[in-house]
Structures are given as C-alpha cells and as structure tokens.
Amino acid sequence: MEYKAMNRPAVAKLAEKVDGCRYMLVTVVSKRARQITQEEFDKHAKFVAERSTDRNGNSAPAFLNKNEVKPVAKAVDELWNDELDIEYPPEFSQNKI
C-alpha cells in the first residue's frame, strides 16, 4: 500500500479491524511499530556504533534508513492487510456492551 498522507487508510476504517476501538488501534499499531524498530535495530546492531552524517552535518544511527517506510506506516499496513494477530486484553470484552 502506498501512502500519500497520514490519514490513508482512514482511521475509522482501521478501527474496524480492531472492533471499532480507537484505543486498541493505537495500542496494536504502536506495539507492532516498536517491534519493527527493535527488529531493525537487532538486524543492524553491528552498525549502531557507526554514524552517518546528512548534508547538514547531523548524525543519525546507521540502521535508520531515511528512504525506508517508517515503522508506524509498516504497522498500519500490516494491520490493514490482516497480517497481525491481535491479542485482546481480558478487560476489553468485559467493557463491551
């Protein structure tokens, strides 16, 4: 899925993937984004000590490729394509009416 803006796909459509609960939407996407970040960090751990410098002289960890899709966008894409297994907390079903 190609993203032209942050609101694609729409939040309401994404919330349908988690029973319409925006809280669960944020929780699921943020948890997966953290996992993606950690996976990328682990994959490139030997390069973390190295620094790359952009044209302004600012340094950033080498594992962060500025041209890659950001972790949150990847997590949203995975949720949208039903690639995530969502584990609902026990209190989630108790609060539904």
Q: Name the pLDDT band for 94 (thresholds 50, 70, 90).
A: low
Residue-wise pLDDT for 38-92, tens only, equals: 988 877 765 555 555 555 666 555 555 666 788 999 999 999 999 998 888 887 7
- What digits encode the pLDDT tens for the residues 4-50? 455 578 889 999 999 888 999 999 999 999 999 898 887 776 555 55
pLDDT at 43: 75
Per-domain boundaries in the chain: 11-84
pLDDT of amino acid 41: 81
Long-range (24+ apart) CB contacts under 8 A made by 83-86 are 84/28, 84/32, 86/17, 86/18, 86/24, 86/28
Q: 15 and 22 in contact (C-beta within 8 Å)?
A: yes
**CA–CA separation, 18 and 35 (whole Å):** 19
pLDDT at 69: 81
